[in-house]
Structure 1
Amino acid sequence: MSHYTLIFQGTAFSSKNPKEINVLQEHLFCINDEGIIEKIVPPTDPEYEKILNTYEGTEAFHRLAEGQFLLPGFVDLHVHAPQWAQAGNALDVPLYDWLHTYTFPLEAKFSDLDFAKTVYEDAVSSMLANGTTTALYFATVHKDASILLAKICAEKGQRGLVGKVVMDDPEQNPSYYRDVDTKTALQDTEDFILAVKELNETTKQGVYPVVTPRFIPSCTDDALKGLGELAAKYDTHIQSHCSESDWEHGYVKERFGKNDAFALNDFGLLGDKSVMAHCNFLSNEDAELFAKTGTAIGHCPISNGYFANSVIPIARFLSRGVEIGLGSDISGGFSPSLFDNARQAVMSSRMLEDGVNTSLPAGERGVPHSRITMNEAFYLATAGGGESLSLPIGRLEEGYAWDVQVIDTMVPTAKLPIYDKNEPLEDRFQKIMYLARPENIREVWVQGEKVHMRQ
């Protein structure tokens, strides 16, 4: 029998596919010293009792208490880390005012590393406390502060994918907050990539540099071209915003005579390590390009309700083979919880299918076949996010990282309404996904290391 660093015994839920979940009842999860699930053993396996007899009573053995369940750690595909300082503010103002009155002045403050450290440490800790084990972060234009965010992820045990933001176009960005010029933006990005790659060599769970044009309107053609070349040179992840709103989608079409997707592709910014946030206005042709290149959508359902001018047809894009995960979009979205965003994803999809304009007949009011289920939203928050990042995360399967949340349904201040001991486990899963709060997240583990425990 192999030697394992950790053994967990309990019931877990993981995605089988976008529409179905696996219920792993009272299984043993055997984790090696690299933090990888080496073996999963059901109670019917003859080896089950052998492993129990060997490990039960040792420090390596963890048995879930009654009412506790395992979920994969969440994968958040779109977080503006500096905006944690303004989460919940000014969501009632137009996007332009929100950016120029609140967001850009705040992000400009991250030239101060002491201020950046305070906000980033709290942001990463808050994400972990909400069950997010992997986060794809936008930082700011500041190279040193962006490297600092990666270091904080490494120290706190979160798998962080961090991007130094590029905003080099003097016509589209405020004078107090932008890159000095295109050459500096590209050099700072390359320096940032090299620094984070070096940091990754000593980080168990991994930290990764991400090439990050804020979005097409903030960047010159030369910057977009140079960023595509840097991503190819260093084989990095890429992130940006794409076809988010009427204004942004229209701006790109006027500038290039084509949609965002094809413009980004021309600059070498689409690929199997690319995640584009929002994407509400993708055409069928855009979606086919995403599927062909392996580009993923970071779906931000709460944020979209405030700033995207539409409801994205997630079901249609899934049916076309596009990789999709969930994003909180702090702080365009107010909540750091992917539980909240999964719930909103389901609600928004139903509103798209049923329609909202009651002056129209019911048959003309909505978009047919648009709704998604909570099983699908859970997939987006876990396995879909892992696939979008091309990393072995987001599933409780052999060969995947031991990134988990221990959910306690019996916390006195947040007890879930579970009274029937014979209630189907699938129903308990639904209650967890709809009702769980941060209080219910008892522990969080990343790559086999405990990174959060609620007292």
Structure 2
Amino acid sequence: MIFKGTAFSSRDHQNIDILEDHLFCISANGVIEQIVAPEEAEYKELINEYSRQNRLQEYEKGQYILPGFVDLHVHAPQWAQAGTALDLPLYDWLNTYTFPLEAKFSDLTFAEEVYTDLVRELIKNGTTTALYFATVHRSASQKLAEICSTLGQRGLVGKVVMDAPDENPDYYRDASAQEALAETELFIQEVLALNEKTPQGVYPVVTPRFIPSCSDEALTGLGTLAKKYDVHIQSHCSESDWAHTFVQERFGKNDAFALNDFGLITEKAVMAHCGFLSEADMQLFAEKGTAVAHCPISNAYFGNAVTPMAKLLRTYQVEAGLGSDISGGFSPSLFDNIKQAVMSSRMLEDGVDSTCCSEQRGTPNARITINEAFYLATAGGGDSLSLPIGKIAVGYAWDAQIIDVQATTAKLPIFSETEALVDIFQKILYLAQPANICEVWIQGRKVHQNRTRKLEV
């Protein structure tokens, strides 16, 4: 199959490539095997050959190709409460709303209904890969992995571990560290078997909810399981004043070094939020290859700080991507989180306390560009997961979202046929809605189609 169109893709965290009217040749297993520019000798020949075979997909004027988004932090069960109670402090929000909801996922019928709706919604929003927290329930967590496999999304799914009796409600926690570890190992084995028949990939993830919710025995065992099976790891790290202080009081060190002591800071680890990382923490992440899931919308509600993405990317070269953090973040769209990432970084640089003088109000050189935010949502997420995804480039999966800027119900303000493509790219990132996403492809398979323009009669 060959696709003909104009694509935008990150070259690195600061620059994008604009591939105007290129041909994208996709292999039978859904990987980009060749990209051909209009000036190349075989360009017209390939168009003629694949047109005769009815294997050429040519996109219309006003339609553009973006890589599929990679969402590095989704609490799948919390989709059922998205958009509620975001005015509460984190500790109260968890205990009053979130834990009672997650406890309901012992009911597999309820779990299947919520998870199916969520995966479809994320795909509709251009998210082709998602890193999921499920719940403590192994069967429901397995159901989420099965739904990802069936609907075509690349899913990385974790059965959550939270066994500490003093920090978790009696009605919702692992009964013991031993049970949590046994269930986690069985879950890993089940998802690894499922992955063998899932072309786009579905992966098990070792998932201590965060240090306050886990005993030392559970954390030690999870580190051992991650090493034994060579699987991904995810957790929350230095998210809020409360969580960050809790870990310091318990271990006399920050989350990053405490998690490292348990074997949970590795090249396959993704740590969410990280608003209170020290310079030493950042250096540890860089050395270990551990990634940060930046959740800018959620952090505005619960993080008590703005994660210093410019420093992580430019000074320490820490791998990083974006997370929606449903439902601490209300939006399933990484377009919304791209915008918020830029806005939050500018507020960090400028400061927000008007009673303080401008010279001392903010953090110098903290703002990130729209190119960097786009990188976080795409290539940065792929790098964070050590998977060949998030770029329109040879050797990468054909995970793509086709954006129609002339969609009938969501037309973007583009009034000149000669408007620069770089300006159109920025308008897409700031203004696109689900109505602009006319197709989504994952591993070469079309998983979503939306008629964006009225048929002419």
SS at match of 1:414: coil
The match for 1:378 is 374
Counterparts of 2:437 and 2:309 in 1: how far apart (Å)?
28
Map Cα deviations across residues 380-409 of structure 1 (whole Å, 9 max, x no partner). 000000000000000000000000000000
**1:122 partner letter:** D
Counterparts of 1:115 and 1:57 in 2: how far apart (Å)?
48
Residues 34-433 of structure 1 mapped to structure 2, 5 A cutoff:
34-319=29-314, 320-433=316-429
Counterparts of 1:215 and 1:96 in 2: how far apart (Å)?
13
Runs (4+) of structure 1 moved beyond 4 Å?
none
Counterparts of 1:297 and 1:95 in 2: how far apart (Å)?
20
The structural deviation recorded for 1:95 is 1.2
The match for 1:3 is none
Identity %: 66
Counterparts of 1:243 and 1:95 in 2: how far apart (Å)?
13
**1:223 partner letter:** A
The structural deviation recorded for 1:364 is 1.2
Counterparts of 1:113 and 1:58 in 2: how far apart (Å)?
45
- Mark the runs of 5 or more structure 2 residues left unpaired by the alignment: 452-457
Counterparts of 1:25 and 1:53 in 2: how far apart (Å)?
19
The structural deviation recorded for 1:59 is 3.6
Residue 30 (structure 1) aligned with residue 20 (structure 2):
no
Figure out how many residues of one structure are paired with residues of the other and give that number: 450
CA RMSD of aligned residues (A): 0.6
The structural deviation recorded for 1:229 is 0.2
Map Cα deviations across residues 181-234 of structure 1 (whole Å, 9 max, x no partner). 111100000000000000000000000000000000000000000000000000
TM-score normalised over the length of structure 2 = 0.98
The match for 2:448 is 452
The structural deviation recorded for 1:321 is 1.0
Counterparts of 1:168 and 1:49 in 2: how far apart (Å)?
62
The structural deviation recorded for 1:454 is 1.2
SS at match of 1:325: strand
TM-score normalised over the length of structure 1 = 0.98
Counterparts of 1:113 and 1:57 in 2: how far apart (Å)?
48
Counterparts of 2:352 and 2:175 in 1: how far apart (Å)?
46
The structural deviation recorded for 1:57 is 4.8
The match for 2:5 is 10
SS at match of 1:194: helix
- Mark the runs of 5 or more structure 1 residues left unpaired by the alignment: 1-5
**2:84 partner letter:** N
Map Cα deviations across residues 272-313 of structure 1 (whole Å, 9 max, x no partner). 110000000000000000000000000000000000101111
Counterparts of 1:258 and 1:60 in 2: how far apart (Å)?
58
Counterparts of 1:58 and 1:207 in 2: how far apart (Å)?
32
